Structure 1
Amino acid sequence: MCAASQIGALNRQGMRACAMGDLANASFLLHQALRQAQGMGLEGFIPKLRNNLGLILALSGRTEDARLAFETALAEAEARWGGETRLHASIRDNIIAVSAAPGPQ
């Protein structure tokens, strides 16, 4: 399996684990994917992976960490692709949602 396919597979497995409520495993898989993408210089994966990690953090109640992950993902997406993409819009929506979340920030 090529590196990009492996990173994509880890991302999908992580999001499946998230959907099943296994946030610890989801976080582990997404961190693995992120480390591999960074190590191999596959920068195109990084904003999406950080966004997905932000979702895990938000679901875990770690809203401040989630907001930071989303803001980092957005900055990386803007640096990589410049203009507006669906990912940009999704990340912005996630920042708004986590900023409006009740409880300690």
Structure 2
Amino acid sequence: MCAASRITHLNRTGMKAFSDGNLANAEFLLQQALRQARQLNSDTFEAKIRNNLGLVCFKAGRLQEAREHFGHALAFIGGRIGSENRLYRAVQTNLAAAEAC
């Protein structure tokens, strides 16, 4: 399995754990995906994973960590593909929700 496929698999498996309510496992898998994305030097993967980590932290009540993940994701997306896209708007919505709490 190539590096991109491993990252995608970890991200999807982490989000499956998240949707099943297993936040600890979700965070563990997403942190592994994040480390591998950093090694691959992929801003796009890192942005998606940070958004997902932000969701996990938000659900766990760790609002400051959630805001940091969402903020980093926005910076990566904005720098790589700009702000006029669906991913940027989704992360922006997530950040606004975390800031409202």
Percent of matched pairs sharing the same residue:
50
- Does 1:57 find its partner at 2:71? no
- Matched letter for residue 92 of structure 1: Q
Match of 1:32 in 2: 32
Match of 1:75 in 2: 75
Structure 2 CA distance for aligned equivalents of residues 95 and 83 of structure 1: 14
Runs of 4+ in 1 over 4 A off after TM superposition: none
**Offset of 1:44 from its aligned partner?**
2.0
Structure 2 CA distance for aligned equivalents of residues 15 and 77 of structure 1: 20
Give the structure-1-normalised TM-score: 0.92
Structure 1 unaligned residues grouped into runs of 5+: none
**Offset of 1:42 from its aligned partner?**
2.4
Match of 1:98 in 2: 98
Which of the two has greater helix per residue?
Answer: 2
RMSD, aligned α-carbons: 0.9
Structure 2 CA distance for aligned equivalents of residues 22 and 15 of structure 1: 9
After superposition, the Cα gap between the structure-2 partners of 1:47 and 1:100, relative to the gap in structure 1 and judged at 3 Å, is same
Give the structure-2-normalised TM-score: 0.95
1:25-62 Cα deviation digits (max 9, x unpaired): 00010010010011122222010100000000000000
Match of 2:18 in 1: 18
- Does 1:2 find its partner at 2:5? no
Match of 2:89 in 1: 89
Structure 2 unaligned residues grouped into runs of 5+: none
Higher Rg of the two aligned structures: 1
**Offset of 1:99 from its aligned partner?**
1.2
